[in-house]
Amino acid sequence: MSRKKKISYVVNLAIVILLYLVFTMLIRQGIVNSYYSDIMNMMCINIIMAVSLNLVTGLLGQLVLGHAGFMLVGAYTAGLFTIHSGLPLPVAFPIALVLGGLVAAIFGVIIGVPALRLKGDYLAIITLGFGEIIRVIANNLTITNGAKGLYGIDSLNSRHNLTAMFTYIFFIAVLTIFISFTFGTSRHGRAVISIREDEIAAEASGINTTYYKLLAFILAAFFAGVAGGLYAHQIGLIDPSKFDFNRSVEILVMVVLGGMGSITGSIISAGVLTILPEALRGFASYRMLLYSIVLICVMLFRPTGLLGRSEFSLMKTVDKIRGAVKGKKQDPASNKEG
């Protein structure tokens, strides 16, 4: 590992810790109340969903329209475990999140094996079908309490300790971003990207395309399941209507808006699209209209998304600024010599 890369990791870690300490202090001091704390938590959950979908839609290049289905599986699995396990919440909660992710990953295998044999619109349709089927099943099962929704899910926020829930959600979001970025820059990630660029050429080069497509799909499903578990314990009440087709499209919009293939783009767009509807609540009659106009403008003037397929790097930005400053300093000297 180069010295510059090591410095980049240390700087990024320091920024993450600083952000956490600042937000935690604001919550404890009461500057950030429960309403704004809930918005921050939902923003982190949406970031997990967008980054996980970006593994399939961005890196792999496969259109998936049923990502909310994996979130539903994780939410109900985690919620049911917390309710019926009889364990104290601090013990049950992390176990429930892992179980939610694993069960969603199992569904990812069941759906992914036949679905990933298809491409383009056909894959989108079959994943859309999965999302709707799993929602209808949850809507009619007794164990999920049907259309009434699953309630009584204990939340760490109910203990008047807002920082506990924020800590879980924040660091799981950070871990999701780290794993996704590491996966994308690893040899496995490069194999997935090669499949996106030209699947026939990748297979001819000896890459096991089926394995890598399924790997990306399962990893995305796992993180979506974990996000579902976080959502269930954040809200405390879940019902199937919250995980419909509109929810899947909302997550897909976050990925497309940020740039398909850009993890930092997904982070920015997920944050903006979570805060924007709340910020426009004062314009209740025109809120969704303004929200839609913003999306249309971005697609018209930046069709590749905010960052395209590139990633934002603090170190590269600093190097560019330094280069620009050095260039300005050298210009006067070169003009005098001329």
Residue 175 scores a pLDDT above 60: yes
Tell me how far apart the alpha carbons of residues 101 and 96 are, in angstroms, rounded to a whole number.
9
Whether the predicted pLDDT of 102 surpasses 90: yes
Q: Encoding tokens for residue 46?
A: 């949406």
On the question of pLDDT at 292 being above 60, the answer is: yes
Task: Kindly tell me if the per-residue pLDDT of 338 is higher than 50.
Answer: no
- DSSP bridge pairs for 151: 237
pTM: 0.89
Amino acid at 99: L
Using alpha carbons, select from 246, 223, 235, 260 the residue that is nearest to residue 70: 223
Residues sharing a CB contact under 8 Å with residue 78, sequence separation 6 or more, in sequence order: 96, 97, 99, 100, 228, 229, 232, 233
Which residues face 238 on adjacent strands?
150
Structure tokens at 111: 């759906």
Pair of tokens at residue 167? 């800590």
Give the SS3 label for residue 81.
Answer: helix
Beta bridge partners of 150: 238
Q: Is the pLDDT of residue 1 over 70?
A: no
d(CA 242, CA 136): 12
Lowest mean pLDDT among 63-67, 98-102, 206-210, 297-301: 297-301
Instruction: Provide the pLDDT confidence category of residue 330 given band limits of 50, 70 and 90.
Output: low
The pLDDT value given to residue 101: 96
Q: Which two tokens stand for residue 226?
A: 């974990």
Nearest-angstrom CA–CA distance, 224 and 51? 9
**What SS3 state is found at 88?**
coil
Residue 144 pLDDT: 86
How many CB atoms within 10 Å of residue 35? 8
Give alpha helix (H) positions in the chain. 3-28, 34-54, 67-84, 89-115, 120-140, 162-185, 187-197, 199-204, 209-235, 245-258, 263-279, 287-301, 314-337
Residue identified by tokens 């079908």 is 129
> Rounded mean pLDDT of 311-322?
69
For 216-224, what is the mean pLDDT? 94
